[in-house]
Every structure is written in structure tokens, then in C-alpha cells.
Structure 1
Amino acid sequence: MSNSRTTSTGAPQGCVLSPLLFSLYTNDCTSTDPSVKLLKFADDTTVIGLIQDGDESAYRQEIEQLAAWCSLNNLELNMLKTVEMIVDFRRNTPALPPLTIMNSTVPTVESFRFLGTTISQDLKWYTHIDATIKKAQQRLYFLQQLRKFNLPQELRIQFYSAVIESVLCTSITVWFGSATKSDIRRLQRTVRTAERIIGAPLRTLQELYTSRVRKI
């Protein structure tokens, strides 16, 4: 058993209670305007604002209140990881003034990673799927090396399930249903490559998606 230690701020990383304690600590950090949603997952916070008729006042006020709440509760916003993404499907999108937090300008991006999933401002999945394919293909190299070392087929299948299939299925219940057929075909080619390396049939992306939806 480790020795006890008293901390005045924060919570020990890796401690079982740390996520619960942090959630309790930030429980009163909420949005006051119905047009603005505050999504929290551990120490990640996302603000979603609905701007109508060019009126950004409620959205910007919530941002200011969030920054003030953090300052009041001895929490520091990581401005290096803070970005703004605008979703607007109008043909003539009006230019919006830059968002600032604590005198720092927040960069506007075309996509960002939200809990492991890349969301683009056009709400399409090409960017996320492209990154997924690149990551899976990098791991296919190790699967090829295992075949060169004559690793039994059963172990190659286990390696694929743990290292490659897990990448292909990350948040699959979120994006698969609205992904384009061409993007699905691009992903499926990665599965077929793995099948040739292993020498055995593998579950298709449709089968993986269906099995995970049934578990929800």
C-alpha cells in the first residue's frame, strides 16, 4: 500500500476516484441560455451555440461566463487546444468577428477531433475516414511482418482484431450510417488487404457496424 499524501489542488492522475471528483467539481459549470449547449467529458469541454439572424450575443456571453467560471474555480483553459468551427450551409456566409478568450484570439478551423472522431464543418466524414485509413494501413505493416515470421493464422486474426479492426471501428456507430459509399469502399479495401495477409475471411464493416448497433 502506498503512503498517504495530502494535495491542495487537483487530483492524482490514474487514481480511480479522480474522474468522479473532477466531474463533481465541475458539475455547476453549465449553460444558462437554451440556444447554447455545454458538453463535458472528463476535462474536455465543448460549447455548441445556435446563432440566428447573425445574433452571437448569447454564444459569446456563454464563452465569457465559461472563462470566468474557470478563473473563479482555479482552472486554466488550454488556449493551445481551443479552436472554433463554424457550420453554415448558406451560399453567402457572412464574415463573423473572431472569437477571443482572455485577450487571446481563438483560431477558426475546418475540422477538429472530438473524443477521437474528426468532425468537419461540412458534417461529412471524408477527413475522419481518411485519417482512419492511414492509421490502419500503418498497422498493416506489422501484420505483414507477423506473416513473414510464420505466426499462426489464429494469432494473426487476434492481432488484427486488437490492433487494426479496433481502429476501423472507432465511433463507427456515429459515422457509418451517413458515410458515402465511396468512403466505405475505401475502408473496406483495408479489410480486404488484411484478409489476404491473414489468409482468412474477416467481418465486413457493415457486419461490424450492425453488431455494435445491436449492443447499444
Structure 2
Amino acid sequence: MILDVGSAELVDAAGTICQQVRSAGVSPSVVLGVLNGGRVPAEMLARELGSECRCVLHRRKTTGRVKSMAVSAVNRFPVFVGNVARVLEDRALRILSSASTETLQLRRELVDKLSWVQWYDLADKTPVLIVDDAVDSGRTVGEIVLALEHLGVSRSSMRIACVTVTRPDPVVDVDFFYKREVLCRFPWSDDAKSGELDGK
């Protein structure tokens, strides 16, 4: 199943996640969005929670190998063909992920992108809420967690939120989410039709 997420669903997702965050007694000072997909949800959550919003770009190489399947299908065929391509893409990524013996690694380039942490007053700016649109294997967010730990942020002061957790067993625990084991097509997804999110 593919859930098409538009403006109304994003507002609902942000409201649901904010309620979970507040119920857990968490008051994040910083909401860190994972670009590109985590930017809009992070901005919405930061606004609602009264937190500062920052973003970081981090893409793993595995993701880029398979991404073109759904993109090429959606522009030439009916939506259901794009949906089939998206499901096949997810299965291919699962196979690549499960076949990989790669462990979470501290990536120097990611530490450099997060260098603002080194001069940021973390004593007054925790906890940090890391936000992505979707968590699949969890490796992208996991590597961000490792980089933040390397820069002095304690794991206990980090929380992870996303719109959807697409798999039952990501390598990181997601604290707050809107959907579980559901593939979503966001307005910024490569296979989305243009104009699905007003002003974006």
C-alpha cells in the first residue's frame, strides 16, 4: 500500500507527533531535519513545539542505486504502475540492506556538516529531536546519531521522529511516528506529481 501524503496529512502527522512528544514529557530545544525529506516535517514540528529548527543533508549511497525505478514509471504510466514500481523499489532496498554487512559508521563528512554542534551551547539546547519523513533501514538517522554523539551530544538526550517507519526492524528505535509499515509518497518524493503541496 502506498499512502499519498499531501498538506492535510502532513498537518495531521505533525499534530499526532507533537501530541506524542508532549505526552512523553519531551521539550526539544532543537529540531534537526534530515534533508531533503525531513525539512518540511521538521519545520512544522519546530513551529508547533516552539523549538529551533536546523537541517542537515545526509544520503547513503545504497539509496541512490535503486531510486530511479519509481521515478521513470510515474511520469509515463498511470499512478498504479508507479505504485508497483515503488513497492519493487522498497523490496530491492530491503534486499540490499539485509545483504549488507555494513555496520553503522561514523562518517567524517557528516561530522563536518554538523560542525555547528561544536560551538553550540548543547547544555542549554537539549534534547534534540531528529526528524525525517521516512525511516526505512534506519541507517541514515543512525549515522546522524553517531555523528552527534561524536560531537558531544549524549544519546539519552536525542529523540527520533518521522512520518512513517516503513519496516518492522530499523537499526534505530524511532520514538515518535505517524504511520508504521506504510510506504508514503510525499509531495517532494521523486515520483510525486508536481504541485501536490501548495507553495512547495
Instruction: Settle same-fold status: TM greater than 0.5.
Output: no
Structure 2 length as normaliser, TM-score? 0.28
Which one has a bigger Cα radius of gyration? Answer: 1
Higher relative contact order (CA 8 A, sep 6+): 2
Q: Would you tell me which structure has more strand in proportion to its own residues?
A: 2
